[in-house]
Amino acid sequence: VRIVYSVPARLRLPLAIVTALVVAEAATLLMRPRVVPRPVDVPARAYFSPQELERARDFRTGQLWLYGGRVAVELALLVVIVRRPPRRLLDARRPVLAGAAAAAALSLAVTAATLPLSAWSRERAKDVGLVTQSWTGWAGDVAKGAAIGVVLTGAGGALLVVGLRRFGPRWWAPGAALVVAFGVVTTVVWPVLLDPIFNRFTPLPAGALRSDVLRLADRAGVKVGEVYEMDASRRTTAANAYVTGLGPTKRVVLYDTLLEDFSPEEVRLVVAHELGHQHHRDVPRGLLYLAIVAPLGMFAVARLTERLAPAGRERGPAAVPAVALSIALLVPAITAISNQLSRAVELRADRYALRLTGDAEALIGFQRRITIQNVSDPDPPAVVRFLLGTHPTAMERIGLALAVERGS
Ligand SMILES: [Zn+2]
């Protein structure tokens, strides 16, 4: 920190941002598994018909524009509020309470301002047959999400003002510690506290599938935790699966749409992929990555906030919108970097699943079917993949299966 303070004032902000990005990239390179063999390069048209590709691209391109629109609306809203902060924030008599109110109000305002675009995006998903939920159900989800957002951002706003007043320009250090603690706590409690607000989770009933999953986990030497079926079909026809939780809440979650629409071999392969995440401890490793990246990330947020907040008000509730804008600007850049790690980790889980099941054909068949069912673009433009891709593309995953098949 001393070094940073000895550089000329006008260089502090760019240097802080560049350092945060460099540290994120370094952590990505250090933690990134090298997946052997490398996926074979195959064109999407070898596995998907022109009609399937056109349908997916039409749908995804529109969804991306709507996503970009929501980001633009959010940034514009924050810029307006940062430039003209409400009077009540400037001379708040109870600064901590004002910080909480400001953060909660910002969260609600962003949800409200982007709502038309969210509804439009949902309408397009409905047109391609992905939506099974009524508008009332959707409105209920939005309301629940907004309520959770208000509580969490409200608490964040209050803590931020406490930190700003107590630690001044060094608030980023306790701030980063809180971000990491929040990451750990939510990883542990989210699956038992917040997920059930949106869906029903039932342990996989005794039967062929459950014994198959347990046998697979046993063979892999992985303590799988509980395996749950989630009633995703109340909202969508899309299929998926994921691992979540930590310690006592560690679990594998399978969408009911997956269990209904896919063959036992394909479900087995998905379970093996999730076991790969358990085997490599990808959830705790993700938290480790957060712990490495958060300090310099928050340092950059603090320096950007100083630049954006109204002069002389950097220590009070009037700085809250500036912090929100700084986070909204910096987090996507850091996420684009951490996505490189995420894609490599996902490919490694695929490699693990292929080793465990020895079934490359099932992976290829599964990727083909799930891509069509979820109306996903199997081979999105490179820039989209780079900025937003948390998973390898379907063509990379098929390419990995082909490489494994050819290798053995
Ligand atoms: Zn995965």
Residues lining ligand 1 (ion), CB within 5 A?
Answer: 346, 349
On the question of pLDDT at 1 being above 70, the answer is no
Question: What percent of the chain has pLDDT above 90?
Answer: 83
Distance 21 CA to ligand 1 centre (A): 25
Distance 243 CA to ligand 1 centre (A): 8
At residue 172, the pLDDT reads 97
Distance 224 CA to ligand 1 centre (A): 14
Distance 109 CA to ligand 1 centre (A): 33
Nearest to 159 by CA among 110, 108, 103: 103
On the question of pLDDT at 313 being above 90, the answer is no
Distance 349 CA to ligand 1 centre (A): 6
End-to-end CA gap in the chain? 52
Distance 350 CA to ligand 1 centre (A): 8
Distance 271 CA to ligand 1 centre (A): 10
Question: What percent of the chain has pLDDT above 70?
Answer: 99
Mean pLDDT, residues 180-205: 95
How sure is the predictor about 29, in pLDDT bands with cuts at 50, 70 and 90? very high
Distance 277 CA to ligand 1 centre (A): 7
Tens of pLDDT, residues 134-177: 999 999 999 999 999 999 999 999 999 999 999 999 999 999 99
Distance 65 CA to ligand 1 centre (A): 26
Tens of pLDDT, residues 268-289: 999 999 999 999 999 999 999 9
Distance 346 CA to ligand 1 centre (A): 5
Distance 18 CA to ligand 1 centre (A): 30
Distance 285 CA to ligand 1 centre (A): 14
Query: Per-residue DSSP letters for 206-269?
Result: SSHHHHHHHHHHHHHT----EEEEE-GGGTBS---EEEE--GGG-EEEEEHHHHHHS-HHHHHH
Distance 340 CA to ligand 1 centre (A): 14
Which residues, 6 or more positions from 344, have their beta carbon under 8 angstroms from its beta carbon?
32, 33, 34, 35
On the question of pLDDT at 130 being above 90, the answer is yes
d(CA 395, CA 373): 15
The owner of tokens 């409105």 is: 139
Mean pLDDT, residues 242-262: 90
Distance 396 CA to ligand 1 centre (A): 14
Distance 103 CA to ligand 1 centre (A): 33
Tens of pLDDT, residues 324-366: 999 999 999 999 999 999 999 999 999 999 999 999 999 999 9
Distance 166 CA to ligand 1 centre (A): 41
On the question of pLDDT at 4 being above 60, the answer is no
Question: What are the tokens at 91?
Answer: 């001379």
Helix axes 360-373, 264-279, angle to 10 degrees: 100
Distance 282 CA to ligand 1 centre (A): 9
Distance 100 CA to ligand 1 centre (A): 36
Distance 392 CA to ligand 1 centre (A): 10
Distance 307 CA to ligand 1 centre (A): 39
Tens of pLDDT, residues 213-250: 888 888 888 888 888 999 999 999 998 888 889 988 98
Distance 276 CA to ligand 1 centre (A): 8
Chain mean pLDDT for the chain = 94
> What's the pTM value of the predicted model, to 2 decimals?
0.92
How sure is the predictor about 407, in pLDDT bands with cuts at 50, 70 and 90? confident
Distance 14 CA to ligand 1 centre (A): 35
How sure is the predictor about 408, in pLDDT bands with cuts at 50, 70 and 90? low
Question: What are the tokens at 367?
Answer: 């990727």
Phi, psi of 282 (to 5 degrees): -70, -30
Residue type, 88: R
At residue 287, the pLDDT reads 97
Mean pLDDT, residues 54-81: 97
At residue 5, the pLDDT reads 59
